[in-house]
Amino acid sequence: MPRLGDPAPHFTAVTTQGEITFPEDYAGRWVILFSHPSDFTPVCTSEFMTFAVMHPEFAEYNTDLVGLSVDGLYSHIAWLRTIEEKITFRGHSGVQVKFPLIDDHTMSIAMQYGMIMPGEHASSAVRAVFIIDPTGTIRTIIYYPLSTGRNFPELLRVIKALQTADTFDVATPADWVPGEPVIVPLPGSCGTAKERMQDSTDETSGIECQDWFFCTKPISESEIEETLRVTLTAASLTSA
Residues forming the annotated binding site for substrate? 127
How many of the other CB atoms lie within 10 Å of CB of 18? 7
For the question of residue 44 being annotated catalytic, the response is yes
Smallest Cα–Cα separation from 156: which of 90, 224, 61, 236? Answer: 61
| C-alpha span between 240 and 234 (Å, rounded) | 10
Catalytic one of 44, 190, 209, 215: 44
Amino acid identity of residue 161, one-letter, is A
| C-alpha span between 142 and 144 (Å, rounded) | 7
Q: Could you tell me the sign of the dihedral formed by the alpha carbons of 192, 195, 201, 204, in that order?
A: negative
- Residues 178-191 as b/e (b if ≥16 CB within 10 A, e otherwise) read beebbbbeebeeee
- Can you name the residues that pair with 65 across neighbouring β-strands? 32
Q: Could you tell me the sign of the dihedral formed by the alpha carbons of 83, 88, 90, 96, in that order?
A: positive
| C-alpha span between 56 and 39 (Å, rounded) | 23
The verdict on whether omega for the bond into residue 23 sits within 30 degrees of 0, i.e. cis, is yes
- Can you name the residues that pair with 142 across neighbouring β-strands? 129
Residues at the annotated binding site? 127
Contact 114, 1 (CB under 8 A): yes
Q: Give the residue numbers annotated as catalytic, written as ranges.
A: 44
